[in-house]
C-alpha cells in the first residue's frame, strides 16, 4: 500500500510563478518516489497559465478562493500596507543581526 499525501498549495501549475514551479516539481518527485499524491490549489489566479502539468491532472483539484487581506487593503490602501510591511521588515532585520 502506498503512502498518501494531500498537498495544499495556492501556487501550482499551470499558473506560472516560482512558487508553482517549486510545488509542481515537489509533487512530481513525490509521485516518482511512489507516493499517492493529491493536490488542492487555487483556481482563477491572476497569473499566466504557461507551466506544464507534470502530474496526472485527475489528481489535482482547483477551488475558488478569496483574499482574506482584501478588507484591510480596501480600508487602509495598498500603499499603507506596503509601507507598514517595510517598516516591520527593517525593524526585524535590525533585531536579528548577530553581534560577534
pLDDT tens over the chain, length 100 residues: 679 999 999 999 999 999 999 999 999 999 999 999 999 999 998 899 999 999 999 999 999 988 787 787 777 776 655 565 666 666 555 555 555 5
Chain position carrying cell 503512502: 3
CB atoms within 10 A of CB 14: 16
Q: What is the DSSP letter of 61?
A: E
**Domain residue limits, the chain:** 1-65, 67-100
CA atoms of 36 and 31, how far apart (whole Å) = 6
Angle, alpha carbons 30-17-19 (nearest 5°): 40
Query: How many residues are listed for the chain in this entry?
Result: 100
Quote the pTM value. 0.67
Residue 70: all three cell numbers together: 482584501
Amino acid at each position: 500500500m502506498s503512502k498518501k499525501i494531500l498537498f495544499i498549495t495556492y501556487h501550482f501549475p499551470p499558473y506560472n510563478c516560482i512558487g508553482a514551479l517549486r510545488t509542481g516539481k515537489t509533487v512530481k518527485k513525490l509521485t516518482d518516489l511512489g507516493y499517492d499524491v493529491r493536490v488542492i490549489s487555487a483556481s482563477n489566479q491572476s497569473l499566466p497559465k504557461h507551466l506544464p502539468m507534470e502530474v496526472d491532472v485527475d489528481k489535482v483539484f482547483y477551488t475558488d478562493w478569496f483574499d482574506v487581506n482584501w478588507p484591510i487593503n480596501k480600508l487602509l490602501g495598498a500603499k499603507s500596507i506596503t509601507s507598514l510591511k517595510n517598516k516591520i521588515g527593517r525593524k526585524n532585520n535590525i533585531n536579528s543581526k548577530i553581534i560577534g
